[in-house]
Amino acid sequence: MEVLGIPVPPSLVTSWVDWLAPDRQPFYVTARQATEWDLPLSDEEPDPQLRDTYRVYDLDGELWRSWLSEAEFLALPDPTRAKLVRAQTEHGRDAVPTVRAWKDVLGPRIREQADGHRFVWWKSLLSAPDAVLRRIVSDEFEPSRHTEVQAEVWRDAARLVPRARELAGTFAQGSGPNCFGTVMAACGVEGAESQWVQRQPFDTWLAESATRGGRDGVPGTVLVWRSSDGAVQHAAVTLGSGWALHKPSQAWASPRKVRTVDEILRASRRHGWRLQRHSLDR
């Protein structure tokens, strides 16, 4: 399978299916809803992949989790399933797509799962996973343009960002690896591409490896976005000739990709963020 111009090996496709449609998934409910709908409750936390699938980072701390398998979900009375799925959108849990958006792929029977307007992902819906996964990832992220970068650009960039070409156009093996680790790895820090690098280690590396200031058109300029409190929020590194490498997020579906510097600048604009440039020491 190829997604965003990036080959995805079969083993990773299998993992993506598990992360999009786990055998048991968390449904978020109030205590009253759990009682009214006779749902089992659990303190079990989602793993990093499921946290990113359902985007549960900022849910109300008063909500409870009910972990259900597909069989347990389908055994619920029809009105309860409908209310439970609607509640997920109301509480802010993600991966509750609309029937309208997916009926062309999944067929009209998807209306029967819950309230006829929304549904949740189960493996039974993924008999043709490539089409579903390709669309989900492509709807969220722009393609990588690494194949458009000329050989001489990669050659000239190799001195300052020696692993950029190796990393460009790849997916991580799960959630966690982020923009900071991608930049550090591209600049030669072994193993950083597979880590969830926190702000302080990245800032320490930046202070030791680069000096303030830089130009977008040359290789080795680290682009750093900071919020108003000074905390680093995102990072990318230039390759030269207007290209740069970054990883949009720590999520499992987020690729390490090449885009133009202008494209990355536009995509990274956030209210209250300011951009800094740092030149890697030569």
The domain segmentation of the chain, as residue ranges, is: 22-125, 142-280
Nearest to 88, CA basis, from 47, 116, 118: 118
Q: Is the dihedral of CA 192, 164, 182, 250 positive or negative?
A: negative
- The CATH label, of 1.20.120, 3.30.720, 3.90.1720, 3.40.50, for the domain at 142-280 is 3.90.1720
Structure tokens at 95: 């991966």
Task: Give Cα 267 distance to the centre of its chain.
Answer: 14
Q: Which residue has the tokens 């797509």?
A: 97
User: Which of helix, strand or coil describes residue 129?
Assistant: helix
Structure tokens at 35: 């009682």
Q: Tell me if 258 sits within 8 A of 245, measured CB to CB.
A: yes
Task: Provide Rg for the chain, Cα atoms.
Answer: 21
* Residues in contact with 89: Cβ distance below 8 Å, sequence separation at least 6, in sequence order: 96, 118
Nearest to 243, CA basis, from 279, 275, 218: 218
pLDDT at 15: 98
Q: Which helix (H) or strand (E) covers residue 252, if one does?
A: none
Put residue 243 in one of left, alpha, beta given phi > 0 → left and psi -120 to 50 → alpha.
beta
Could you read off the pLDDT of 23-40 as tens digits, one per residue? Answer: 999 999 999 999 999 999
pLDDT at 197: 98
* Residues in contact with 282: Cβ distance below 8 Å, sequence separation at least 6, in sequence order: 159, 160, 220
pLDDT mean for each 10 residues of the chain (282 residues): 96 98 98 98 97 97 97 98 98 98 94 97 95 96 98 98 98 98 98 98 98 97 98 98 98 98 97 98 85
Nearest to 215, CA basis, from 238, 182, 246: 238
pLDDT at 282: 79
Q: What is the largest CA-CA distance in the chain?
A: 66
Helical axes 10-20 vs 129-140, angle rounded to 10°: 80
